Structure 1
Amino acid sequence: MGTVGVGLVDCHCHLSDPDFDHANIVALVAVAEHSGEFEKIIQLSERIWM
């Protein structure tokens, strides 16, 4: 059985901050203000974690 890694979930993201890349973030909460932002959030998730 493998070990479980420890990381952080960022619920107030500043993705453009250079520290984001080095902060051991394993998940984030992307909040949309309206349904028109859904596609942008999906594209972000595919770019970062796919």
Structure 2
Amino acid sequence: MHTNNKSNKGRVPKNNKNSKKSSKSKNKSKASTNDLNQKLKKILLEKLIEKLK
């Protein structure tokens, strides 16, 4: 029983990585993180410009 649980745990992440559903959700999260990164860059640039003034 115990060894079966271990082998199942080892298989689960591999299946998740290769599944199409997870890749679609990854792309969605990538789009949202890109948006957040752009906002963050804007804020950091504005702060940097203020410091240089």
Task: Decide: shared fold, TM above 0.5.
Answer: no
Scaled by the length of structure 2, the TM-score of the pair is 0.28
Question: Larger radius of gyration, structure 1 or 2?
Answer: 2
* Richer in helix (by share): 2
Higher strand share: 1
Q: What TM-score comes out, normalization by structure 1 length? A: 0.29
